[in-house]
Amino acid sequence: MSLRLLCITAHPDDESGGFAGALMQAHERGVLTRVVCLTEGRAASNRGKTQSDDELALLRRNEFAKACNLLQITEGKVLDYPDGDLNRLDFFEVVTMLVEEIRRYRPQVVLTFGGDGGANLHRDHTMAGIFATAAFHWAGRSFFAPEQLAAGLSLYAPQKLYYSSTTFTISKFTEEAAVAPRVPITLTLDIADLQERKRQALEVHGSQGVLDRAGHLYQQFGHQEHYQLAAARKPELIGNEQSMFDGVVED
């Protein structure tokens, strides 16, 4: 048996900007890491030198693959749900797909976005988190997707669910962002020793120019990542956490 972590994101570059530190720390302790990205990011405003949506999608898939390699992610997968329109999808269709991911991969820990949408308050981030939250809870319940059980999969309840949180916002809607409720912080990871590699992973996503727009914030805040423990199989056993894998057992 082994420890496994599943990270569910919306766009290529989310794994680097939102979760890289946690993913690298997990790898360092021998945890298998998997990222499922729901869209190709083909509707992005920043498009590099691409001339079409298809070119941008291919470029962003390649950037994702390179970043995953740099971050030593065990396995990364980009799906082709519509970028910018995750809120228009059939909720149960997407959750069913993610429940299958969880039942097959059997991660003890799941990472995703909270309802606020992350540092830029993106609605796709919100929806990725909503889909992932439902899948986290329903993968262990027999009422949901019984056809998967009939096909040979087993129920599986992950042990912990974490939402990404930040102490700043990069939303272009500054007045709204100033009053937007944010995900509270229950765990802060010190990633100072990994900050440079996280910066390199962000640079791999050159089409998005993240550091061109928010490099000053990364310089100030990039030595830490913040998370909220949103659900746990045995919450009564969890106190002041130092690691995402505090209290987690192999299963």
SS3 for 49-118 is: CCCCHHHHHHHHHHHHHHHHHHCCCCEEEEEEECCCCHHHCCHHHHHHHHHHHHHHHCCCEEEEECCCCC
Q: Which residues of the chain carry a pLDDT beneath 70? A: 1
Domain-located, residue 244: no
Domain-located, residue 158: yes
Closest CA to 131 of 160, 92, 100: 92
pLDDT at 1: 64
* pLDDT tens digit sequence for 1-34: 699 999 999 999 999 999 999 999 999 999 999 9
Cα separation of 136 and 188, whole Å? 22
Q: Tell me, what CATH number does 39's domain have? A: 3.40.50.10320
Domain-located, residue 249: no
Domain-located, residue 202: yes
Q: What type of residue is 46?
A: N
Domain-located, residue 246: no
Domain-located, residue 169: yes
Number of domains in the chain: 1
* pLDDT tens digit sequence for 194-234: 999 999 999 999 898 878 877 788 888 889 999 999 999 98
pTM of full prediction above 0.75: yes
Domain-located, residue 242: no
| Residues spanned by the domain of 19 | 4-237
Element (H, E) at 7: strand 4-9
Domain-located, residue 211: yes
pLDDT at 109: 98
3-class secondary structure, 154: coil
